[in-house]
Every structure is written in structure tokens, then in C-alpha cells.
Amino acid sequence: MSPRCIAEQRVSAFCRAKDGNRPHLMGQAFAEDAWLETVVDGECAHSSSLAQGREAITRALVRHFGRHYENVYTFCLQRPGADWVSPEFSCDWLTGMSSKDSGQLRIACGRYDWRFQQELPFRVQGLKVTIMRSTVLPPSALAPVTDWLDGLPYPWCPAAMAVGTAPALAGLQPVLARLHPAMMAA
């Protein structure tokens, strides 16, 4: 199996684990001694953090996350190139979810910087998650937003498709403009 296919499998396992609240899938994605760094860029009001080890990452991104959010969709907006062999891969991401408590929706985007092991089994050794834009929408936006997200190819979706099929909700504009500025200017 090519390094590109393995990288795509690892990233897909991460998305399925986080979005579906499936902690058992994190072993398919991350090395036992992996690290996670979360960085906030721009106007988001979250603090930066670091988790060390697959169990700590699972606790943060699956168990804790799953207690607070549902209807979670995460999309990677670029794939590794056909000739990709590097242990590093970066891509933009889009995610949407609703709060279990309030019903509000959170839509965010940013960048993933993946670092893979250089030897078998080529699991994720490190992940830096940069949050670049985030917006909160009222519970009344649940149907149009989840219909949109559910209609996108999961978990790999071109940015132009995500932006081009988004519902016409003013609150989405800051995130969509960050994902694909040229389309939003048209």
C-alpha cells in the first residue's frame, strides 16, 4: 500500500473516531506516544493546549468532545498528492457540530499539520490543529447546516465544493471566506 493511501486511512480513522464518538478507532490513527497541539489563530476565543499520548488525545478529541457535541462533521479540504511520500502532510479543514446542551451550531475552519511515523505502521506521530475561524449559529440553523454538511463527500471534500454548496446564512460567511476567498469575492 502506498504512503499516500496509508496517510489517507489514518486521517479518515481520526475523523470517524472524533465525529462518531468512537474512541476505539484512535488506535488506527495515532501512535501510542503521539502528541497533539491545538493553536488558536485570529478571533477564536479558545486557549492553546498540548496533549501527550494517544490516550490523552482520545480523551480530549473523542470522549470530552463527544460529551458536549453531536451532529459532528469534519472535512479535510486537500488530499496528499499522488506522489506524496513525506512524513508530513498539511491540509485545511472544515467542521460543523451542534451543542448537546443549547442546540447552537459551531462551524469552524483551520489547518491540520500531520506528522506520520517514518516506519511501519506509519501512524500519526503528531498533529497540530490550528483553529483560524469559528462562528456560532442559532439552533434554527440546524436543518440547513446539517443537510449541507451531510451532502458533502466525507471526510475528503474540495474547498470549492464546501463553499459552493453552503446554505445562504450570514453567520457562515466568515468561515466560508477563510476557506475560499476567491469564491466569496465573486
Q: How many domains does the chain have?
A: 1
Structural domain including 31 reads 3-181
The pLDDT-based confidence of 75 (bands split at 50, 70, 90) is very high
Look at 92 and 186; give whichever has higher pLDDT: 92
Q: What's the CATH number where 30 sits?
A: 3.10.450.50
- Domain membership of residue 69 (yes or no) is yes
pLDDT at res. 186: 45
Q: Please choose, from the candidates 126, 120, 75, the residue with its C-alpha nearest in 3D space to the C-alpha of residue 96.
A: 75
Average pLDDT over residues 66-86: 91
pLDDT at res. 103: 96
- Domain membership of residue 176 (yes or no) is yes
- The answer to pTM > 0.85 is yes
CB-based contact 146:154 (threshold 8 Å): no
Segment 127-183, tens digit of pLDDT: 999 999 999 999 999 999 999 999 999 999 999 999 999 999 999 999 999 987 755
- Domain membership of residue 186 (yes or no) is no
